[in-house]
Chains A and B, each alone.
Chain A
Amino acid sequence: MPWILITFVVLGLVMLVAWFTSHKIGIVLFVMFLILFLLVFNHHMTDQLSISL
């Protein structure tokens, strides 16, 4: 799965929602984006190791 591309798209959507739609929803989506970002990082951080997640 192209998770980095998905993370980029989510970041773009979060920015657009926070700017044009709702401050509150933007912040909630940004927190979800941060969790996604950490998960993708976790995967790429460990893919050279035998514990790849």
Chain B
Amino acid sequence: MIENEKINRWIKYLNIIDLIGITLVVATAFVFQFFMNELPCPLCLLQRIGLLAIGFGFLLNIHYEVRPAHYALSLLAAVFTAFVALRQITLHIAPGDQGYGSALFGFHMYTWAFMLCVAAIVYISILLSVPRQYHLQKDKEKVSEVRNPKMRKFGHLVFAIYIVIIGANIISTLTECGLQECPDNPVSYQLL
């Protein structure tokens, strides 16, 4: 029983690290946007949304008890985001096409997003197959919040950073596109 508690705690910390990882990836996209003046295209913005959505399952695992359904939501988001990234890769697959934006270690951001999503799918599939992390209650409908105060505090901090990143993306998208559909090839901010 104590062993199970330990595994559960480690899995929760792992979920926190995953959420921080996703936040860092989206923050890297901001570095490209603001320091290299590369405006994100609509598909790039959708990939950002998808990457942040992958974190939803991790977020639920941190705040409530760990459940397979939470991982399933993250898996769905990862599959959909991989589709978006794959669509953008195929747009620039023709010989001689320079791709959209600059490359990082030889790959464009959308290629990295695709690889990241495939890695996330594999990783989440492995993680959800650890049976001793689940403490399901007798009443399957009842989902309790995490009780460990240290974990709660840490979870709240990570959630705050996560929400700030989503808020920053909302402001950035509003500034870039205004209250109309985002242009396919943006060259300037609509509201600046």
Contacts and interface: CB of A to CB of B under 8 A. Distances in A.
B143 interface: yes
B143 A11 contact: no
18 contacts: A2-B179, A2-B182, A4-B42, A4-B173, A4-B177, A5-B173, A11-B49, A12-B166, A14-B56, A15-B59, A31-B73, A34-B77, A37-B49, A37-B80, A38-B80, A41-B87, A44-B43, A48-B184
A5 B179 CA distance: 8
Interface string B139-158: 00001000000000000000
- Majority SS at the chain B contact face: helix
Interface of A: 1-5, 7-9, 11-12, 14-16, 18-19, 23-24, 26-27, 30-31, 33-34, 37-38, 40-41, 44-45, 47-48
Contacts of B56: 14-15, 18, 30
A34 B53 contact: yes
Given A2-B178, A8-B173, A27-B73, A16 B163 contact: yes
B24 interface: no
Contacts of B84: 41, 45
A13 to B, nearest CB: 10
B91 interface: yes
A19 B170 CA distance: 19
A45 B42 CA distance: 10
Interface in B98-149: 143
Given A12-B166, A12-B170, A44-B42, A2 B59 contact: no
A11 B53 contact: yes
Given A2-B178, A5-B177, A40 B163 contact: no
Contacts of A30: 53, 56, 73
Contacts of B180: 1-2
A26 B143 CA distance: 13
B151 to A, nearest CB: 14
A33 B50 CA distance: 10
Those 5 A-B pairs whose CB atoms lie nearest each other, nearest first: A12-B166, A44-B42, A23-B143, A8-B170, A5-B173
A45 B66 CA distance: 35
A1 B64 CA distance: 36
